[in-house]
Each structure stands twice: as C-alpha cells, then as structure tokens.
Amino acid sequence: MKKRAFDCKHACVASLVVSLLLMALVMLIKTGDSVLDSLLSLLITRASLSGSFFFLAKYLSLDIFSPKIKNAALTIPCLLVALNNLPFIALIRGTASVAAPVGRIILLATSCLAVAAYEEIAFRGVLFLSLCKSHRTKKGIFFSAVISSAVFGLFHLLNLIDGAGIGAVIMQIGYSFLIGGMCAVVLTACGSIFPCIILHAIFNFCGGLVPTLGAGYETVWDAATIIITAALAMICAAILIIYLVRRGDENINSFYLY
C-alpha cells in the first residue's frame, strides 16, 4: 500500500511538471489560426492536467474511476440540460449556423472532453470528495457540493487574464456553479466520475459549437429558448435535490479506500 501511494505521489508531481512545460510550449506554437491555436492549447494542457489529478486522486485513495454506474436514470434530466445548451431553435431558424469542417468540430469535441476530464477529476473527484471525507452526512455532502461548486465557479475568473469580458465571465461563474452542483450530485449518485465527465463535455461542446466555430450566437437567446432552459433547469434541480434529501449519502463511503 505504501509503495503504491509513493508511486502515485511521484507520478502526480512528474505529470504536473510535464503539464507546466506543455503550457509554456503551447504559448510558443502559433499556426496563424487563433481558433485552432486555442483548441490545441486546451486539448494539450487539460489532457496533461487530467493526468496529474488522476494520480492525485489515486494518491489520496479516492475510488472515483469505477466502470460500474449506479442510478444511471438520474443522469437523464442532466443530459437534457447539457444537450439543451446547443441552440437548437436558432440553428433550425437559420439565425445561427456552423460551417466548420468536420475535423475542426472533432477537435472542439476532443478539447471539451479534455477540459471536462480535468475539471471533473479536480473539482468533483478531488476537492468535493476531500471536503466530504469528514462530513459524510446528507447535510455535509450538500455543503461540500456548494463550497466546491463556488470554488469551481470563481476559478473561471482566470478567464479574465485571457481577455474575456467581465459580463461573459460573470455568466460563466454562475452556470459553472450550477453545473458543478449538478455533477457533484451525479458523482455521489452514480459512484463514478465518468458520467460527470461525459455530461460536462456535452454541455461544453453544445454551448461552444456556435460561438467557437459558427456565427449568429447573439441570436440564440430567444424567448422560447429561455423558457425551455429555465424549465429543464428547475426540473433537473428538483430531481437532484429530492435524491440528495432522500438517498444522498447512500454511496459516499464507497469513494474512500482507507
């Protein structure tokens, strides 16, 4: 057991060093296409950071990589919320469009998966479960979810450094907090980080497709979209809260090996 912990600790440090080197390297690589540069940067850096937090979770003896998914039906309303992030109405009406080549869309999807893996392992797998470790009651899980989601939301203030507008960042903080809370409950219900990663990746891809690779994003928030989004969010929140109140602590002990 000590040997495994020792190996994971050093693997975590080594992968973190590699991640930092890659971050410095991607700043030097310029293709002349700002969108391509951004997607490649996200893919390379977040994939390497995912590795760092993978080893950190192993070192902390957090069992979050189970292939067995419990309570899978609970992910259905969450999946609808994630898919609804794609502006279906604007795309159908033609006020928004995507004309990027398939390869660029695949690159966006892969980048979204890398970002989701990094953020879910780091903020749900490590931070949230570390907060829960000494407070494994339903109340403790709830407050751990709120705190870790708030940290996750505020983490997006770093986007200001990349030149994002303050209004866009404030919106991002808000929905990141909500997505963080949703994924925290999904993690405790399903007993695995994989549904969280998939839901997060779908949410990011659906929300990023038009603004990153298309046109007409300013038209996506019509009245119908706002109503549907609010309705799905409230239904999903109600289902997750009911689960948390009734059975929120049923799987929490399974995450801690020691």
Q: How far is it, in rounded angstroms, from Cα 106 to Cα 80?
A: 21
Q: How far is it, in rounded angstroms, from Cα 28 to Cα 75?
A: 40
The confidence score (pLDDT) of residue 1 equals 47
Q: What are the tens digits of pLDDT across the range 78-131?
A: 999 999 999 999 999 999 999 899 999 999 999 999 999 999 999 999 999 999
Q: Is 20 part of any domain?
A: no
Q: Is 63 part of any domain?
A: no
Q: How far is it, in rounded angstroms, from Cα 155 to Cα 16?
A: 18
The confidence score (pLDDT) of residue 15 equals 83
Angstrom CA distances, 135 to 128, 131, 139, 177, 251, stand at 11, 7, 8, 21, 13
Q: Is 31 part of any domain?
A: no
| The two three-digit tokens of residue 98, written as one number | 């995507």
Q: For the chain, how many structural domains are there in total?
A: 1
The confidence score (pLDDT) of residue 3 equals 52
CB 78 within 8 A of CB 197: no
In DSSP notation, the chain reads -HHHHHHHHHHHHHHHHHHHHHHHHHTT---S-HHHHHHHHHHHHHHHHHHHHHHHHHHTTB----SPPSSGGGHHHHHHHHHTTS-HHHHHHTSSEE---HHHHHHHHHHHHHHHHHHIIIIIIIIIHHHHTT--SHHHHHHHHHHHHHHHHHHGGGGGTTT--HHHHHHHHHHHHHHHHHHHHHHHHHSSSHHHHHHHHHHHHHHHHHHHHEE-GGG---HHHHHHHHHHHHHHHHHHHHHHHHHTTSSGGGGB--
Q: Whole-model pTM?
A: 0.93
Q: What are the tens digits of pLDDT across the range 167-210?
A: 888 988 999 999 999 999 999 999 999 999 999 999 999 999 99
Inform me whether the pLDDT recorded for 161 exceeds 60. yes
Inform me whether the pLDDT recorded for 2 exceeds 60. no
Domain with 86 in it = 69-255
Q: What are the tens digits of pLDDT across the range 206-256?
A: 999 999 999 999 999 999 999 999 999 999 999 999 999 999 999 999 999
Q: Is 211 part of any domain?
A: yes
Higher pLDDT, 159 or 3: 159
If one counts every other C-beta atom within 10 angstroms of the C-beta of residue 29, the result is 10
Q: What are the tens digits of pLDDT across the range 146-155?
A: 999 999 999 9
Q: Is 88 part of any domain?
A: yes
Query: Buried b vs exposed e over 230-252: b needs ≥16 C-beta within 10 Å?
Result: eebbeebbebbeebbeeebbebb
| The two three-digit tokens of residue 163, written as one number | 């030149």
Q: What are the tens digits of pLDDT across the range 15-51?
A: 888 888 887 888 787 888 889 999 999 999 999 999 9
The confidence score (pLDDT) of residue 93 equals 95
Inform me whether the pLDDT recorded for 5 exceeds 60. no
Inform me whether the pLDDT recorded for 9 exceeds 90. no
CB 197 within 8 A of CB 173: no
The confidence score (pLDDT) of residue 4 equals 53
Inform me whether the pLDDT recorded for 164 exceeds 80. no
If one counts every other C-beta atom within 10 angstroms of the C-beta of residue 220, the result is 20
The confidence score (pLDDT) of residue 27 equals 78
Q: How far is it, in rounded angstroms, from Cα 118 to Cα 132?
A: 20
Inform me whether the pLDDT recorded for 144 exceeds 80. yes
Closest CA to 114 of 181, 27, 197: 197
Q: Is 83 part of any domain?
A: yes
Q: Is 113 part of any domain?
A: yes
Q: Is 25 part of any domain?
A: no
The confidence score (pLDDT) of residue 160 equals 80
Task: Provide the pLDDT confidence category of residue 166 given band limits of 50, 70 and 90.
Answer: confident
